[in-house]
Amino acid sequence: MTDRPLALITGASRGIGAAVATALADTHDLLLGGRDEAALEAVAASLPNARPWPVELTDAVALSAAAAGVDRLDVLVHSAGIVRLGALADVPAADWRDSFEVNVVAVAELTRMLLPALRAAPGHVVLVNSGSGLRANPRWGAYAASKFALRAYGDVLRAEEPTLRVTSVHPGRTATDMQRAVRTFEGGDFEADRYMDPASVAKMIAAAVATPADAHVHEIVIRQRP
């Protein structure tokens, strides 16, 4: 690692997280967070000054041990997330718990553990949310509720930690493995060119990170062109 700014990105093995890593690679040292160490190593091998940061985000003990090695952090991008879909009458409690555990609780806990490092920078927290964090649709109840909660978390973090910048990002449908799973649930085909490229979302995030210190991007809403 060098003396460049340090960015930690969760969900960095694929999708938007991997695209954000690529977008920040020229300006930041990178910690690539995720569960699949082999996949993280593959991404790191293609980027300068990047290394895997493998951890299970819902394992509090493992998360604490991993976070303990970070004493200064310029950028924290929360890109990891899951989607559980179904009508309210059909979605079991386990799916609600999983949705909140990964999409909200893990975000809050990792951020809490890294607050001293973020304050030392002072840093920038980016929350990769969703269009479902702005509008809830039928059969998206558990996911939308978790993303509404994530937006509220970002608003409170921004107010409580005025030395930090906090940006909530609400992408529309993006060509990721999650979108592939969504299309399977919806009974449709996955056609990547119908959706945004993860790199397009990543460029918006990189632009927010690069915003001069006298400005603060609170929210980004980005949709695919029809």
Please report how many Cα atoms fall inside a 13 Å half-sphere around the Cα of residue 32, on the Cβ side.
31
Q: State the pLDDT at residue 1.
A: 60
Q: Where residue 226 falls among pLDDT bands split at 50, 70, 90?
A: confident
For the record, the structure tokens of 208 come out as 């927010």
For residue 36, pLDDT beyond 90: yes
Share of the chain above pLDDT 90, in %: 94
Q: Is the pLDDT of residue 109 over 80?
A: yes
**Chain segment 40-71, per-residue pLDDT in tens:** 999 999 998 999 999 999 999 999 999 999 99
Q: How confident is the model at residue 97 (pLDDT cuts 50, 70, 90)?
A: very high
The residues facing 174 across adjacent strands are 196
For range 133-155, the mean pLDDT: 98
d(CA 114, CA 72): 8
Q: Does residue 75 have a pLDDT over 90?
A: yes
Q: Which domains can be identified in the chain, with CATH numbers? A: 6-222 (3.40.50.720)
Burial of residue 161 (CB within 10 Å: 0-12, 13-18, 19+) is: middle
Is residue 205 within 8 A of residue 124, CB to CB? The reply is no
2 pLDDT more than 80: no
Position 3 confidence tier, pLDDT thresholds 50, 70, 90: confident
Q: At residue 122, does pLDDT exceed 80? A: yes
Q: Mean pLDDT throughout 168-190?
A: 93
What pTM does this model have? 0.96
For the segment 142-159, the average pLDDT, to the nearest whole number, is 98
* Both tokens assigned to 120: 């030392």
> At 177, is the pLDDT very low, low, confident or very high (cuts 50, 70, 90)?
confident
Q: Which of 24-33, 75-84, 105-114, 176-185 has the lowest mean pLDDT?
A: 176-185
Cα(226)–Cα(199) distance, integer angstroms = 18
